[in-house]
Structure 1
Amino acid sequence: MRLTCPHCGERDLREFTYRGHALALSRPSEGADPQEWDDYLHNRDNPAGDTRDLWYHGPCGGWMVVDRHTVTHEIHATTPAREAKR
């Protein structure tokens, strides 16, 4: 798979690090139930279909949001993280 860095152009996947879903997670309160903390730290949805992910490009230090399809690996868009709409 190849990703297009908004700053460097199309690059091999090995230059990038996946950092998770681009939507913000709601951190539990300090005194929250252990199950809430377990869900927050370890449990994520794994959708089959369109998703928005946060990726880091090591060579340029850029963060980007990647809109992609998890089954076909089709990349719909890559956007610098600071410009991505939530």
Structure 2
Amino acid sequence: MFYIHCPYCGEHREEEEFHPKGQAHIARPQDPDACSDEEWGDYLFFRDNPRGIHHELWVHAVGCRKFFNVTRNTVTYDILETYKIGEQPSVTAESLASAEKTAGVQVADGGQQAVGASDSAVKDSRGAKV
């Protein structure tokens, strides 16, 4: 079991209180009526499933019932940050890889997973720097 920080409640709660809802930051087409069937189907059904850093939409189902975003490493299941809807992530696969290169840290998984990195950009689930 692990704990997740809710950015609205400000508390660390057990994972059973939360439910993942899929990929975050999916832009709805501006004019759905002008979309082809293929474009609309891509929007509705196709999602990224990367190995490494991934931004996900979660809901605090048992607490405040608000939706929020999580940056999670899908390889290690580590939650790197949580942030409110409408905010942008501070941790991305690109920023993590570039920080590791500047720190001279060896990168595994094609830049997706840090190996022994002491990266100041990585935050724990409370938002505190690790």
> Distance between the aligned counterparts of 1:69 and 1:52, measured in 2?
9
Deviations 1:5-64 (A, max 9, x none): 131522222211222222132426314221112111111111111011121102212222
RMSD: 2.1
Map 1:45-84; keep pairs closer than 5 Å: 45-58=48-61, 59-82=63-86, 84=87
- 1:2, distance to aligned residue in structure 2 (A): 3.0
Q: Any idea what SS the aligned residue of 1:56 has?
A: strand
Amino acid at match of 2:56: D
Q: Per the alignment, in what secondary structure is the counterpart of residue 20 of structure 2?
A: strand
- Percent sequence identity is 33
The one of 13, 32, 36 equivalent to 1:29 is 32
Report what 1:19 is aligned to: 21
Number of aligned positions between the proteins = 85
Q: CA deviation at 1:70?
A: 0.8
Structure-2-length-normalised TM-score = 0.55
Larger Rg: 2
Structure 1 length as normaliser, TM-score? Answer: 0.78
Q: Which has the higher contact order (CA 8 A, sep 6+)?
A: 1
23-32 vs 64-73, greater mean Cα deviation: 23-32
Dislocated runs of 4+, deviation >3 Å: none
SS of 1:18 mapped into structure 2: strand
Specify every segment of 5 or more residues in structure 1 that has no aligned partner in the other structure, as ranges: none
